[in-house]
Each structure stands twice: as C-alpha cells, then as structure tokens.
Amino acid sequence: MDAAFTEEQHEIRRTLRELLHKRCGPDEVKAAVRTPPGYDEQLWRQLAAQLGLPGLALPAVYAGVGCGPTELALACEETGRAVLPSPLIATAALAAPLILALGSERQRAELLPPLATGELTGTLVVPGGRLATALALTGANDGDWAGGGRAGGIQARRVAPQGAVPGPKGGEGSGAGAGWRLYGEAGQVLNGHTAQVLVVAAHTGGFARSRTLLFLVRADAVGRTGAQVGDDGPAGLRGLLRTRQTALDETRPQARVELRDVPAELLGEGAGEGEEAGGADGAAVARALAATGAVAAAALAAEAVGAADTALARTVAHVRQREQFGRPIGSFQAVQHRLADLYVSLQAARSAVYYAAWSAGRGRSGEPTAAPYGPHATAEPGVAALALAQALETLRAVAAEAVQLHGGIGFTWEHEAHLYFKRAACDELLLGPVHRLRARAAEEAGLFPGGADAVDGGGPAGAAGPAGAPATGRAREAVDA
C-alpha cells in the first residue's frame, strides 16, 4: 500500500476546495437549503461539468472520470468542509454503484452517463429507515428489512403486459415482457424529492419465495399530480408521491417516497439467466448492497472528517482572538488540552477514512478491481463501519466543543457552529448509531470467534456457542456493553 496521494488526487482536492471556498460559504449554504430542491442546482451543474464530481468513481466508458472510492472520499472531504448541500452521496455513493454492479448493459448505458454528467440525480430507497442495515453497516442485510410477508415495507408484484395471457395463478404474468409494480412507502430517503432515478429495494415472492430485489423507477415517467402518465385511473390513487421532510440537518435533505402501483424495472433484467428473467437474485443483491455500503460509509466518513476539520480550525481561530481576563482564551492550558485532544482524534479518524476508502476500491487480495463497485470489489471486513464510527464520533466531539468554546454566540441558532453540530447528529442517525457500527465491525472481523464464553472468560477458548445463538450476536452484545 502506497499511502502517498498522486498529483491527480491532490489536484482534485485543490480545485474543489478553491471552488467551494468561492461559492459555498455559510451564508450561501443557509440560502441553498431553503430552496425547493434543498441545494444550489447551478453549483451542482458546475461541479459536474468542471470536475465530473458525480462520475468521479465511474468508468470512463460510462462518461465517468474513471477514478475510484479513494478519489470520491477525497472529494467528499472537501464537500464536508463546506457542509455542501448536494445529491453527491445519494447519486455517486448509493444509486450509481448499484446500477453499475447489478444493472444490465442497456440499463448502464441509459442511466450511468447522465448520472455521471449531472444531468440526472439518483438515490436509494429503503423502507423503514433501515438504510444502514440494507448496506450491511449495522447488521446482516440478508433478512426481511425491505418488508417481509405480504404487507409492510415496499412490495413488488409482477404484472403481464396488455394483451398477454394471465399467469397460472391468475393475474400475475411471467416470462419476457412482464413488468413490475411497486406499492409501499419509505421515509428518510436522501434527496428523494428531487432524484430522477430511484433504486428501490422491494420485497417480492410472498412467504414461499421471500426475497429482496432492487428495482429502477424513473420519476420523469410519473405525473406531478401523483397519477401515472397515460393511466386512466383517478389522480392520487396511482403514481409516485414525494414529500420533502423536515430534518434537523437541512444540508442533508430527506423525503418520504410513496409508491402507489408504480411501474418499475427489475435492476439487471435482461442481463442473462437469473432468478427473475435475468435480474440479480437475492444473494447477489445483498452482496452488491454490502459493497456499496463500504463505499458509502467511506464517503460519509470523509465528509464528517472534512466538517470536523473546518469546525476545529474555526474554533482555534476564535480562541486566539477572543480575550478574557486580559488574554486570549486560547492561551489557557485547559483550553489547549481540549483542542489538542480533538486534533489527535481528528487525525486518527482521517487515517481510518483513507484506509477504508482504499480498501473499498480493492479486493481482499490487495489487487485493484476492474470496477470499484463490481461484484469482486470486496472491502476488508469491518473497515468501513469502523472508520465511519470513528469519524462520526470525532465530528460529534468537535462540534460540541466548537459550540462550547465559542461561548454565548456559539449557542445561537444562527451561528455557523450549528451547521456542524446538526450534521454530526443527523449523520449518526442516517447510518449509525456508532455503537452498532462498531459491533458490526467486530462481527465481520471475527473479533470474538469463541462467542460469549470467550468474551466472559467463563468457558474454554474457542468453545462454540449453543445452537441458535451465533458468536456474531454475542459480539454485538459484548461491544454494546
């Protein structure tokens, strides 16, 4: 592993930092979040056109820059410094990698180039606010987190095209030409109110063949009133309804997405022989989500490190200028010790994030993968979750100290210190909490292979746990304790 950054990577950081310094100050951020989309669309188009930001980690064949998760993390560190409100995480770290990993060649050719150039934005829709579980960051993603059974979550059903003969069960079509319809809702969807491409995790198969698959929904194919374009049914009964939700962190806009019999396309349909007419099966979906989770965790952790770095720098500048008892408060040893501890924590988090990003773009053998998000791009177990936990914890500590050390002005809601404080609180709610991230890292790394007996010291080393109580479950309990 070469820990030094290349000249190209340094240039990405310099260019992005200069642009955001000019266009994305605290006042510009507060103004952008109050617009209907929740971000500066003109700035987003500029970032896409000049830097290729949304396509930074996509292959050049799909109009991307051809870099990887490391470059994406470096860019996210700079966007985190400015607390930039944008669809970068939702598009480049969630939607695009899943389309690249599981989509058919037709789906990739249609969707990835406009996503890479910023013409379209995308997001991942997961019901029940279980995004962290779906990405295998806080637990295994092989369960019914998308809504088990025939109710709850988001349900997918296959329908026959017009004029086709109904399937043997009456009503459900099968084979080539059959489509899908989605019904359900999901909250806390990143940029869900503006994304044109929705990658929706939905449950299908009922009880007999229960599994979670991914579907593509094009928002531009649904009328604004909520009725499907060309549908004869009454408006409001069918269609895609999206409502921006009120969030503590306005720089990370979220939405509630309601799917009412919405037409969808199975991700990977037509790519070859698969479980559902060429689509990826449940196991492949779980693996792709886990690989995407490693990249998304590294990107979100990089944003947290960037935000913590700026918050700490602003706090240091303040304590150098603010005088009390006839001297700058930064000259007091107690204040210096607090800031020194934050600096050490920040540097440790930055190192963890860089390693997680490097690991996400390489296989377990240490060799670069052909595509950063391909089926063989397996990150080192536990690294992404652990880096995210450390970064979120650092941002939370730095933001809290920033509010404290700024004194009375730091407690005012309008002060810029609250941008970082809100970001710290909401990011942990999005892909945390921290203790669950660490517990998952311990499970993936096999930290407690002997189970509870090995942790407690009450049994022989390496003793297997009883049936129905795997060691991974006890690892979570041990870490939580």
Other C-beta atoms lying within 10 Å of the C-beta of residue 282: 17
> Which of 137, 423, 83, 441 lies closest to 295 in space, CA to CA?
137
How high is the pLDDT of residue 179? 87
pLDDT at 270: 62
Residue 296, token pair as written in the block = 């998304």
- Mean pLDDT check: name the lowest of 26-30, 277-281, 295-299: 277-281
Q: What pLDDT is attached to residue 450?
A: 59
CB 311, CB 80: distance < 8 Å: no
Per-residue model confidence (pLDDT) at position 129: 85
Residue 447 has pLDDT above 90, yes or no: no
φ/ψ of 164, rounded to 5, equals -85, 155
Q: Which of 262-276, 388-402, 420-434 has the lowest mean pLDDT?
A: 262-276
Q: Which amino acid is at 300?
A: L
Q: What average pLDDT score do residues 105-117 get? A: 96
Average pLDDT score, the chain = 83
Cα→Cα distances 310→33, 81, 201, 307, 351, Å: 19, 5, 36, 5, 17
**Preceding omega of 433 cis (within 30 degrees of 0):** yes
State how far the Cα of 152 lies from the Cα of 150, in Å rounded to an integer: 7
Confidence of residue 224 (pLDDT cuts 50, 70, 90): very low
Phi/psi at 475 (5° precision) = -60, -40
CA dihedral 57, 376, 140, 217 (to 10 degrees): 50
Is the pLDDT score of 213 beyond 80? Answer: yes
As given in the structure block, the two tokens for residue 304 are 């947290």
pLDDT at 338 (0 to 100): 96
Model pTM score? 0.85
Cβ–Cβ < 8 Å for 76, 89: yes
What whole-number distance in Å separates Cα of residue 420 and Cα of residue 471?
Answer: 37
SS3 label, residue 255: strand
How far apart CA 264 and CA 216 sit, in angstroms, is: 6
Interval 374-419: pLDDT, tens: 444 567 889 999 999 999 999 999 999 999 999 888 878 788 999 9
Q: Give yes or no for a contact between 66 and 60, defined as CB atoms under 8 angstroms apart.
A: yes
Q: Which residue in 392, 238, 402 sits closest to 319, CA to CA?
A: 402
| pLDDT value of position 375 | 42
Predicted pLDDT of residue 211:
84
What is the mean pLDDT of the segment spanning 99-110? 95
Contact yes or no for 375/101 (Cβ under 8 A)? yes
Confidence band for 202, pLDDT divided at 50, 70 and 90: very high
Mean pLDDT value across residues 192-196:
96
- What is the per-residue pLDDT for 2? 63
Whose CA is closest to 253, among 130, 89, 385? 89
Are β-strands 327-328 and 254-266 bridged in parallel, bridged antiparallel, or unpaired?
unpaired
Q: Could you give phi then psi for residue 227, rounded to 5 degrees?
A: -95, 145
The proportion of the chain whose per-residue pLDDT surpasses 90, expressed as a percent, equals: 62
From CA 41, how far away is CA 313, in angstroms rounded?
Answer: 28
Which residue carries 């109580």 as its tokens? 469
* Structure tokens that stand for 181 in this block: 């319809």
Check residue 279 and report its DSSP letter. Answer: B
154: β partners: 184
Residue 31's CB is within 10 A of a number of other CB atoms, namely 11
Looking at residue 142, its pLDDT comes to: 81
Examine the pLDDT at 231 and tell me if it is beyond 90: no
Has residue 480 got a pLDDT over 60? no
- CA 233, distance to chain mean position in Å, is 35
Number of H helices, E strands in the chain: 15, 9
Structure tokens, 12: 């990405």
The residue to which tokens 């070469």 are assigned: 2
Residue 90 confidence class, pLDDT cut points 50, 70, 90: very high
pLDDT value at residue 300: 97
For the chain, the distance separating the N- and C-terminal CA atoms, rounded to the nearest angstrom, is 35
pLDDT digits (tens, 9 = 90+) for 34-63: 999 999 999 999 999 988 999 999 999 999
If pLDDT is split at 50, 70 and 90, which confidence band does 281 have?
confident
pLDDT band for position 69 (50/70/90)?
Answer: very high
d(CA 268, CA 270): 6
How far apart CA 107 and CA 104 sit, in angstroms, is 5
Average confidence (pLDDT) over 282-307: 95
Q: What is the per-residue pLDDT for 478?
A: 44
Q: Tell me the pairing of strands 197-204 and 122-125.
A: parallel
Going by pLDDT thresholds of 50, 70 and 90, the confidence category of residue 178 is low
DSSP 173: -
The confidence score (pLDDT) of residue 227 equals 38
